Amino acid sequence: MAQLAQVHPSIASRVLNGDKSASVKEETKQRVLEAAEQLAYRPNGLARGLRTKLSHCITLVIPDLSNPAFAEILRGAELEARRSQYYVLLASQDSGPQEKRFLRATLESRVDGVLLANAKVEDRVIEELEADAFPYVLVNRRSHKASRYVVGDDHGAARIATEHLIANGHRRIGHLAGPETADTATARRQGYEDALRAAGIKVDPALVVCGDYAVSSGRVGLRRLWTGVPRPTAVFAASFQLAVGALEAARELALEVPDHLSIVSIDEFELAAAIPPGLTTVRMPLEEMGREAVRMLLGVVRGEQAGGQLILPQLELVSRNSVGAPND
């Protein structure tokens, strides 16, 4: 390519790599760019990484590929990464026997940093990353051991969802909660309980079922709530997937939603409008979480910042037909 542009290879390299310190005439730059286009040139990322010590790749680690919330976070992360000419690699990894092996692979990899959407409240991975000074940011998770995270207002979202049920006349409100090891689940349960107390409603542990964020947990949890005492007139699900499972169980139990039972969940997706009778949700800023997490991570990679904790306040109740007045 340098031969086609009639320039020295070092000049061609500096032009194509955007070296602003290079003193190159505009006419010469144009010849190099035209030659690159003619030859369909693509930069060698590995070679560039060896020179700059950067791979221009980051990894987003999620616990569950089937959860649509992580697809929204990934979309935001990719859009922001693209602006800085970075690529986002996706990995699925939850806590378990493979945790140490995953950590070792991450620290030995060529990625410039990692976004962790799977970190638990107590997470050994965070300790190791901190000790190794490896750039990372938690996204949609918090930990007291982490110096950097980007999350939504989980407590506020849960309050909005529960207050909506209270405003519709419900006082026996069940809660399908997420795993106790997840910060999001802890914050959402606290928001649910605070909303009840503020309305003068006693918090009843019998109306809370803990599980994971899977559809199957929603099915099992709803059956437990409906066959328990007291029986709820409404349910707040801590995730969209839990709500989907609850709706499936309601159909199996021949319950009409919202005539026999009202349901509301956190996380808003297009599918919520298509699921009969239309699921009421609280929209979380998932895409923006991904964007802000990448901004923070690249700031760490570039040495522009050391840490930061960001809580995104954007919340929106999306009201549909899954909530009505209690039928008793």
Task: Please say whether the dihedral angle defined by the alpha carbons of residues 45, 48, 49 and 52, taken in this order, is positive or negative.
Answer: negative
Same domain, 75 and 88: yes
Identify whether 107 is part of a domain.
Answer: yes
Identify whether 103 is part of a domain.
Answer: yes
Identify whether 328 is part of a domain.
Answer: no
Q: What is the 3-state secondary structure (H, E, C) of 60-97?
A: EEECCCCCHHHHHHHHHHHHHHHHCCCEEEEEECCCCC
Same domain, 201 and 234: yes
Same domain, 246 and 158: yes
Identify whether 184 is part of a domain.
Answer: yes
pLDDT tens figures, 1-38: 566 767 666 566 666 666 555 567 778 778 777 777 77
Same domain, 147 and 161: no
How many domains are there within the chain? 3
CA–CA distance, 116 with 180 (Å, rounded to integer): 18
- For the chain, give the mean pLDDT: 86
Place of tokens 């050994």: 124
What CATH number does residue 253 fall under? 3.40.50.2300
Same domain, 163 and 279: yes
pLDDT tens figures, 47-102: 444 444 678 899 998 888 888 999 999 999 999 999 999 999 988 765 555 555 66
Expressed as residue numbers, the domain containing 66 is: 51-152+286-314
Identify whether 164 is part of a domain.
Answer: yes
Same domain, 193 and 235: yes
